Amino acid sequence: MLEINRLSVAYGNHLALKDVTLAMKSHETYCLVGESGSGKTTLLKAITGLLGEGGRYIEGEVVFEGKELISLPQPELRKLRGAAIATVHQQAGSAMDPIMKVGKQFHEALSVRAKISRRESDRLAQECMKTLALKEPERILKSYPGMLSGGTIQRVALAMAMAMNPTLILADEPTSALDVTVQVEVVGTLKKLQENCSAAMLLVTHNIGVVARMADKIGVMLDGRLIESGSKAQVLSSPAHPYTHMLINSVLNKKGRLPMGPTIYHEEKTQGCSFYNRCPLGCGLCRETLPQTREIGSDHRVMCRLAGEKYAQ
């Protein structure tokens, strides 16, 4: 249902996505992981044509339900964004109008897809909120966003995505701006959404626990490239790329980066693999040339010539 083929995107002279190829099937949840700045958000924005000022497509294509989106006229793209593709942001509250009650915002969002009465949109909104176990949906609909907690707003945004009846949900770190206890609730809502909505989901998260709970497939991003992809079992249980291995076994620092550890001994920035200067395996060839992506299992792909070799943590 979604195919991204050899996509490269730049902000000014900086290549934020480099030759990314990824495919998703209907109803599948694909989790994108990677350090801060690796290109996850850019990939979501590139799908819906919302790169913003300074962002431009260099090459590649984004095919959604048979339509190439990069070349699609803006009005058609806008229509897709309001209907077949729903987006949930890290801080959904900031995407909402602070001076419009939640019920009206549901109505406006749903009206993009088809003509709908306020009464019907209220009914649908309440039904979705109940399905996702939100308490007091009537009160929520009559509230302004600022009257609701951050966790409730995130859960309302998930209910809004569900009410749109999309075929694809793009969720960018929907839990990461929340306190840990609230995150647990929102992940529960995300899980309910996955179970009750037949949409495919492309979910960006730093949280490996969320990945373990939600993913069918996982894609790992490093410096704008997809360096490993495969099923949840393949990537979490048998990570092949040393970077994936470290991501799974480390806690990212406050900047969302891997902590510098004793295995990091190369100094130079390189033309080859972006992980070379931090890799415990890296050889001279890794520094000189970019490895090819190769298939090491059914649908398990990795961009590392030394993948799978044993190394000490």
Ligand X SMILES: Nc1ncnc2c1ncn2[C@@H]1O[C@H](COP(=O)(O)OP(=O)(O)OP(=O)(O)O)[C@@H](O)[C@H]1O
42 binds ligand X (CB under 6 A): yes
Give DSSP secondary structure letters for 100-119.
S-HHHHHHHHHHTTS---HH
Beta carbon of residue 112, minimum distance to ligand X (angstroms, whole number) = 25
The residue to which tokens 């195919």 are assigned: 3
Q: Please give the Cα distance from 203 to 142 (Å, whole number).
A: 29
Q: Count residues binding ligand X (CB under 6 A).
A: 15
- Minimum Å distance from CB 309 to ligand X? 27
Does 8 help bind ligand X (rule: CB under 6 A)? no
217 binds ligand X (CB under 6 A): no
Q: What's the rounded Cα separation, in Å, for the pair 310 and 313?
A: 10
User: Contact between 36 and ligand X (CB under 6 A)?
Assistant: yes
The interface mask with ligand X, positions 165-204, x = CB under 6 A, is ----------------------------------------
Other beta carbons within 10 Å of 104: 16
Binding status of residue 41 toward ligand X by CB under 6 A: yes
Contact partners, residue 284, CB within 8 Å, separation at least 6: none
How far apart, in whole angstroms, are the C-alpha atoms of residue 87 and residue 202?
10
User: Which residue in 3, 5, 11, 165 binds ligand X (CB under 6 A)?
Assistant: 11
Report the residue number, 37 or 150, with the smaller CB distance to ligand X. Answer: 37
User: Within positions 255 to 284, which residues make up the interface with ligand X, using CB under 6 A?
Assistant: 256
Q: Render 231-244 in DSSP notation, one character per residue.
A: EHIIIIIS--SHHH
When binding is defined by CB under 6 A, the residue of 8, 29, 38, 154 that contacts ligand X is 38
Tokens of 194: 């996955």
> If we measure between CA atoms, which residue out of 34, 44, 38, 41 comes closest to residue 15?
38
Assigned token pair, 208:
């490996």
| Cα within 13 Å of Cα(145), Cβ side | 19
Q: Considering the rule CB under 6 A, would residue 253 count as an interface residue with ligand X? A: no
Q: How far is the CB of 137 from ligand X (least distance, A)?
A: 31
Choose, by CB under 6 A, the member of 19, 31, 40, 175 that binds ligand X.
Answer: 40
75 near ligand X, rule: CB under 6 A: no
- Comparing CB distances to ligand X, the nearer of 32 and 190 is 32
Name the residues that contact ligand X, by CB under 6 A. 11, 14, 16, 34, 36-42, 52, 54-55, 256
